[in-house]
Amino acid sequence: MRSLARRLGWALLGLTGLLIATTVLTARSGDPRLWPPDAGSPTVEIFVVSHGYHSGLALPSATIAEAANAKGHAALGSVARRFAQFPWIEVG
């Protein structure tokens, strides 16, 4: 029994070390060109909304409608038209 516990301990230690090494070796910094946006460039404000046990993204309904029309996404355009009277649409 002691031998099994020892082997499990070493296996757990090895897996933890592998996880740490993988995290360190694959870590990359973010792209500084993404934030902050250039002055005068078009931006869209979105919100991350917390509901305690899950979260959602709130996007402007006008922006969703524009994107749906520009890309030809009929289903997304239908959602944007259905909720056009609301300024924000939350997806979560």
pTM (2 d.p.): 0.58
Q: What is the structure's pLDDT at 26? A: 93
Residue 12 lies inside a defined structural domain of this protein: yes
Q: Is beta strand 55-60 parallel, antiparallel or unpaired with respect to 47-50? A: antiparallel
Q: What is the structure's pLDDT at 90? A: 93
69-77: list long-range contacts, CB under 8 Å, 24+ apart.
none
* Rounded-to-integer distance, Cα 32 and Cα 37, Å: 9
- Average pLDDT by consecutive 10-residue portion of the chain (92 residues)? 86 95 91 85 91 92 91 90 93 86
The token pair at 21 is 């090494």
Burial, 38: exposed, middle or buried (Cβ in 10 Å; 0-12, 13-18, 19+)?
A: exposed
> Domain range for residue 87?
2-27+44-91
Residue 38 lies inside a defined structural domain of this protein: no
Total number of domains constituting the chain:
1
CA 42 from centroid of its chain's CA atoms:
21
Residue 7 lies inside a defined structural domain of this protein: yes
Backbone CA torsion sign across 58, 64, 68, 71:
negative
Residue 86 lies inside a defined structural domain of this protein: yes
Residue 35 lies inside a defined structural domain of this protein: no
The token pair at 66 is 């524009």
Residue 36 lies inside a defined structural domain of this protein: no
